[in-house]
Each structure stands twice: as structure tokens, then as C-alpha cells.
Amino acid sequence: MEYRILGRTGLLVSEIGFGAWGIGAAGSGWVGATEQESIQALRRAIELGVNFIDTARGYGESERIVGQVVRSSQAEIYVATKVPPLNRRWPAPSGIDPMEAFPGSHIRAGLETSLSASGLEAFDVLQFHVWSDDWVGRGDWLETIADLKREGKIRFFGVSINDYQPDNALALIASGAVDTVQIIYNIFHQAPRQWLLPASAEHNVGVIVRVALDEGGLTGRVRDGTTFPDGDFRTRFFRDDRPAQVEAHVDAIVADLAIGHDQLAETALRFALASPAVSTVIPGMRTVTNVERNAVISDGRALPPTQLDKLANHAWERNFYE
């Protein structure tokens, strides 16, 4: 496992982190992972050098499971969690007052709930689960974050940027108020390369990449006719003719790079890691098999420049969350 500095935090984090949304079982939006499988996956990830775990209050039982595994481990593990907005609106619409989404009392109450659920004494990174640059310099959230840092309940502060809105955090990054940003960045969604990644590097803000595999679209296993279990959020994400659209774009990628479909996930993870501004990539890993398949990607090898040049032509901007 290779490691990178998480921006100004100074934390040395594994290039492949553990995205813990899918292990939350009931209430998480994912179907199929048992708690025992999740625990085994987390423990195997730690054995393989993964030392960064991303969870959230809104991920069902994820915080509890993560806390249980981390507390039983002898390794130094960094855990990031997220506070949901008080108004429960994802993504954050423009024009909303920050006191409607993240008043200080709500931030503190959410953190206390997460600490209780996880059994941890503190979180290494506390993130807002949505963000709007309209909130810079407004509300009492910044004072609350400063208080929580002084109290030792959190070490650093971050935001999870709204889906496919990488420019909606540039003012926050420039303000110096944030330590990390979590973004969608993958072969299809390459927009962060224009402004977000350079700004993060300039201001020494750590970048956490989510959805590097496009919720499974960039694994090569979503094809025309692919279905998902009832209750799984991917039934909506890949609804109607979307699997066929994904198949067409994936086939174009593997043909252009002359690789097999079984090499696509590795290529997608290496693409995200190709930017030096990226600190860690957090694919969802619900089984030991997934952990072992993803962790091995962090081996110091980079995609050839010729492949990166070709992948630049495969950007496909769309929002399947809508």
C-alpha cells in the first residue's frame, strides 16, 4: 500500500481508503451486505494497509460497524464521518441560509450522536454531507467547528461537495476554512481537473475521491439488462436505458485502450490516483474480494501517459442521481 499526505492535515493516508456507505445494511440504500461480511471486509482492508475509512451518520449502521472494528484494531486508523443537513436536502440548493442546513447546535448534536454510535472518542475528519459556497462567511458553523476542534472531538474539518458541482467549493477552499474536500471524480466526470484539483493543491486542501467507479458503472459489469435487488439505490441510479448507455461508453473505453472489461475497474482507480492533488480514493468495499481487488491497485504504478491522454476523451457528464 502506498500513502499520501491528506493536505494540510498532515495525516499520511492510504491511497485506497474504505468507502463505508455500502456496509450500513438497513437504511443505507445498499442491499446485499451482511454485517459479518462487512466486518471481515474492514478487517482485511486494515490488514492490507488501508488506514482511512469514510462513513456518515446517514449510512445506516455504518458508523457503529466501523467503530467496532477500529476500536478492536491495533493499527492507527483515521476515520472521517459526515453530519447530514438539518433540512435533509441533498444536494444543497442555492439560496438556502446556512442556519437552515448546518446551525451550530445541529452540528454538535449530530457529532455527539455519531460518537455515541461509533464508540470513538473523536473523529479525525468531520464533514458536512452537502455544501454551498453561499455559506462562506455566514452562519455559526465555523465557530462551532473551531470549538469542536479545541474540545478534541474532531481533528479536522471537511465538506462533501454536491454531486457533480466541483466549482461549488472554490470559495470555501480559498477561504482557508476547510481542511479536506470530498468530490466525485472519475473517467466520466473529469470536471474537477479544471478548477477544483488545482485550487486544492494551491491551498493545500486534502482531496478525498468518491464514486471513482461510478457506482459500479466503471467496473465493466453493468450491461444492458443489468438489474439490482429491490430496495437498492442502484435500481434508480441505473434505471430505464441507463445500463445500455453505460455499456456503450464502457465498450468505447476498453476498445480505445485495448484492455479487457475485467481491467476497467483497475484503470478507473488508477485514473483517479493519477492526479497528485488526490490524497485518497474511497471505493465502496463490502466484501473481502472487493477489498483485495482494490487494495492491490496501490502499488506505485501509474497509468501510461498515452492511456491518460485517451481517457481525457471519454468524459461523459451526466447526473444519474437525478
Residues in the chain: 322
Q: Is 159 helix (H, G, I), strand (E, B) or coil?
A: strand
At 38 the pLDDT is: 92
How many helices (DSSP H) and strands (DSSP E) are in the chain? 12, 10
CB atoms within 10 A of CB 216: 18
- For residue 27, what pLDDT is reported? 55
Sequence-distant (≥ 6) Cβ neighbours of residue 48 within 8 angstroms: 1, 291, 292, 295
Cell of 159: 465538506
pLDDT of amino acid 231: 82
d(CA 312, CA 187) in angstroms, rounded, equals: 8
Q: How many CA atoms lie within 13 A of 4 on its CB side?
A: 23
Task: Tell me the whole-structure pTM to 2 decimals.
Answer: 0.97
Q: What is the pLDDT of residue 31?
A: 73
How far apart are the C-alpha atoms of 183 and 320, rounded to whole Å? 16
Q: Is 207 within 8 Å of 226 (Cβ atoms)?
A: no
Per CATH, domain 3-220+268-301 is 2.30.110.20: no
| pLDDT on residue 32 | 67
What gap in Å lies between CA 101 and CA 88, rounded to an integer? 8
Burial of 176 (0-12, 13-18, 19+ CB in 10 A): exposed
> What does the alpha-carbon distance between residue 111 and residue 115 come to, in Å, rounded to a whole number?
6
Contact (Cβ atoms closer than 8 angstroms) between residue 119 and residue 68: yes
Please give the sequence-ordered ranges of beta strands (E in DSSP) within the chain, or none if there are none: 3-5, 12-14, 18-19, 52-54, 78-83, 123-128, 154-160, 180-184, 206-210, 278-281
pLDDT average per 10 residues of sequence, the chain (322 residues): 98 98 71 85 98 95 96 97 97 94 98 98 98 97 98 98 97 98 98 98 98 96 92 91 97 98 97 98 94 96 96 97 93
Antiparallel, parallel or unpaired: β 12-14 and 3-5:
antiparallel
Nearest to 290 by CA among 269, 259, 274, 311: 269
178's torsion region: left (phi>0), alpha (psi -120 to 50) or beta?
A: beta
Per residue in 66-107, pLDDT (tens digit) is: 999 999 999 999 999 999 999 999 999 999 999 999 999 999
**C-alpha cell, 16:** 485506497
